[in-house]
Structure 1
């Protein structure tokens, strides 16, 4: 469990100008995280534009990250969907060597009941060779994985070890923390409320902005885990304007603009996503220069 306490980052997929995967930039991004205090890496999540990647590209990304990381940080892989049988088959057929856990999003579009969500994750846990972290993100899935259901999963399905909670609701997060067993990981999926969630008893974050400011963001989370709220909030308020900026036109448009400004990767996205507008890019660039 300690492997996933602290700051994880949901890595972007860097693209060349022809929109092929930029392997050197991906290696540079990984090294930046390893050298600046990030605790674990999340591969092929939503931030990676995984919906637009081919199976061959996913293998390339997985192998590149595994090789560059070289066992230095724990790795989590995103495997989820709204067709339970397909997710089960992917878990059974995918090579998950080199990964320490699976991050699986609650089913989207179908809008299942809470019982349907429970049965979905039960099937996934039974098929997964690795521990499973749930991912609740109602803004994308159109259904909310309720604290009572998470508590039931935590107590009845041992292979599920935690949840990335991204409902953006601090009250729901606190209800969740109060219900689940103490060793069940409640991980923030919202950069802006990472610190209050951590101070309330959460175990850290799976972050987007963290890959842009890895040293500062991971330090903030460590301070929060230690209960040092005063110093942690100083960092929070220093970083917070960038969080608003990078999500202003959707993810990962904002974080890619920020990473481009820092010289880590090019500012390229695949349709249907597009680059941040020129005005937003300028605001992001100005923030980075002043940070």
Structure 2
């Protein structure tokens, strides 16, 4: 489908359900998409961090996009990550995900080697020149070790290179600068600004953001859609209450023992365990080498769900 500018609302980064032997669980993926669509989301983002894109083979990445895009069949826009270290590799991913049905592509800055802002700008311009669908920048400094400056993002928005930004930097001040610039500069029109933070969606929308890409939205899409609606209706007291409920639910990401696993294993494991406990997916496996949650840690996830009225 053609994405209108700007893209608004809740666009969850879709988890990638896996079978016990580590392959993409297509029936569970379809079930998860149905769960999200029934929850009222406004778009879907596949092959991002929450999708475990870095752990998937190229064939698995393509299968995910084909499955999701084919199943929604134009009902919702499907954004697909084209995330890799260098421009040539990203361009290969762009070609693959567009052929598989993606309506837009999402790319980080290049990584592995240290890059200059001029090189980052060239990276995005080369991608945009070769992409037949809109390009979103993905600001993810925790993974790529480069923070996209507001100045660079707005420069690329002004010249038409970028259609939008997914900001997962956690830098609310820089995020505000992008939102303000996108709304006030006469040389920028229709630029989409999305927050990737589960915890400050109400604040981001109050600043003028267009929407959110919350990983926790896999678990509780209805809650994030409700939060988005309350903000748009100007019910900031109601929005604050819903945001605080979701913040409490987000506590599940810390169930994993930090002595034996990293934060990503704990957070993604919790999201998948929650989906498993809710009957949405068949298996809570995360991709290797991530460490699985223990039985006790999964039980703790269940307590978070029960406390939020989801189990």
Q: TM-score range by the shorter chain?
A: over 0.9
Q: Which of 273, 277, 280 in structure 2 is aligned with 1:257?
A: 273
1:133 paired residue among 118, 136, 146 = 136
Q: CA deviation at 1:277?
A: 4.5
Shift of 1:207: 1.6
Shift of 1:270: 1.5
SS at match of 1:125: helix
Q: Show structure 1 runs of 5+ residues with no match.
A: none
Are 2:277 and 1:275 equivalent residues in the alignment? no
Q: Choose which of 128, 149, 153 in structure 2 pairs with 1:150.
A: 153
CA distance in 1, matches of 2:242, 2:297: 23
Partner residue in 1 for 2:78: 75
Which SS does the other structure have where 1:163 is aligned?
Answer: strand
Q: Distance in 2 between matches of 1:123 and 1:25?
A: 36
Alpha-carbon distance in 2 for matches of 1:80, 1:16 = 23
**Please, which of 119, 123, 143 is the counterpart of residue 116 of structure 1?**
119
The aligned length equals 290
Report the counterpart of residue 210 of structure 1 in structure 2.
Answer: 217
Deviation at 1:3, TM superposition (A): 6.7
CA contact (8 A) 2:6 2:191 kept: no
CA contact (8 A) 2:81 2:105 kept: yes
Structural mapping, 1:1-291, within 5 Å: 1-2=4-5, 4-92=7-95, 94-96=97-99, 98-156=101-159, 158-180=160-182, 181=188, 183-246=190-253, 249-250=263-264, 251-265=267-281, 266-291=283-308
Larger deviation: 40-49 or 225-234?
A: 225-234
1:279, distance to aligned residue in structure 2 (A): 4.7
Alignment-derived partner of residue 185 in structure 2:
none
Do the aligned residues in 2 keep the contact of 1:147 with 1:176 (CA within 8 Å)? yes
Moved over 6 A (4+): none
2-structure distance, mates of 1:108, 1:243: 29
Single out whichever of 127-136 and 245-254 deviates more from structure 2. Answer: 245-254
TM-score, normalization by structure 2: 0.87
Residue range with higher mean Cα deviation, 146-155 or 98-107: 98-107
2:140–2:169: 8 Å Cα contact kept in structure 1? yes
TM-score (structure 1 length as normaliser): 0.93
CA contact (8 A) 1:194 1:205 kept: yes
2:107 and 2:53 mapped to 1: Cα distance? 13
Q: Note the aligned Cα RMSD (angstroms).
A: 1.9
> Residue 111 of structure 2 contacts residue 145 of structure 2 at CA under 8 Å; is this kept in 1?
yes
Alignment check: 8 A CA contact 1:47 1:208 kept: yes
More deviation, 215-224/273-282: 273-282
Per the TM alignment, residue 159 of structure 1 is displaced from its structure 2 partner at its CA by 4.2
Distance 1:150 1:95 in 2: 23
Instruction: Note if contact 1:242-1:284 (Cα within 8 Å) is conserved in structure 2.
Output: no
CA distance in 2, matches of 1:15, 1:97: 20
Deviation at 1:70, TM superposition (A): 2.4
- 5+ unaligned residues in a row in structure 2: which ranges? 183-187, 256-262
CA shift, 1:108, in A, is 2.6
